Amino acid sequence: MKATLIGLVLLGATVVPAPTWRVEKGDVRVICSMTIGGSFDAKTAALSGVVTARASGSEPFDGSLAVDLRTLATGIALRDEHLRENYLEVGKGPGFEAATLSEITLNGFTADVPEGKGSFTGVLVLHGVSKAVTGPVEVRRADAGLRVKASFPVELADYGIRKPRYLGIGVRDTVQVEVVFALGRSARS
C-alpha cells in the first residue's frame, strides 16, 4: 500500500506538464542614443511568442519571443525607412525581418511561477546573426498571468549592422532594448 502511494505521487510529479506562457500584449522600445547627444525611441507592439518552462528551473525555456522589425517606428518617416531598409535590412527575408530571443534562462526564479527581480540570458537572432544577450528582468503577477519587464544592450557591430550615419547625424554604436509584455497561460498547459 505504502509502495503504491509513493508510486502514485512520483507518477503525478512526472506527468504534471510544465507551464507554457504566451505573449498576450507587448511593447518593445529601442533607445537609440544619438552622436550629438539626446536620443530617440524606436517602438513596436509586434511582440509574439510562446515559452515553456522546463522541470528544472536552471534549464532554458523552450520556445522563443519574436519582434517584427518591419513595424519598428520612430515617428519620422525617413528615419523609419532608413532604420528598416538600410540598417536592419528587413527585406532580406527570414532572420532579418524579425528579431528572436530563444534559449531564455532566468536566474533567481523558480520554474513554475517566476516572480520578482533577477536576470536573464538568451540568444538573440538579429540581422541574421546569433549572439548571447543578458540583462535584468522583473516579473510580477498580473491578473491571471505575468507581467515581464526586461532590458539589454545591443552592440550594432556584433550583429553586422553598419553604423547609422546620415547627413552628419548618427546613432551611437550601442542601443538599449526595453521590453514590457504580459504573459498568459497557454491552452497547451
> Where on the chain is the footprint of another protein (CB under 8 A)?
31, 33-41, 74-78, 82, 85-87, 162, 165-169
Minimum CB–partner distance for residue 20 and another protein (Å): 35
What CA–CA distance (Å, rounded) separates 89 from 177? 18
Minimum CB–partner distance for residue 164 and another protein (Å): 8
- Closest CB to another protein among residues 30, 133: 30
Nearest to 152 by CA among 116, 113, 111, 99: 99
- Closest CB to another protein among residues 117, 162: 162
C-alpha cell recorded at residue 132: 548571447
Could you tell me which residues come within 8 angstroms of residue 159 by beta carbon, excluding any fewer than 6 positions away? 126, 127, 129, 131
Minimum CB–partner distance for residue 174 and another protein (Å): 11
- Closest CB to another protein among residues 82, 185: 82
Could you tell me which residues come within 8 angstroms of residue 116 by beta carbon, excluding any fewer than 6 positions away? 108, 109, 138, 139
Minimum CB–partner distance for residue 98 and another protein (Å): 21
What CA–CA distance (Å, rounded) separates 109 from 57? 7
- Closest CB to another protein among residues 41, 115: 41
Minimum CB–partner distance for residue 70 and another protein (Å): 17
DSSP per residue over 32-85, as a string?
Answer: EEBTTS-EEEEEE--EEEEEE--SSTTSPPEEEEEEEGGG-B-S-HHHHHIIII
- Closest CB to another protein among residues 35, 100: 35
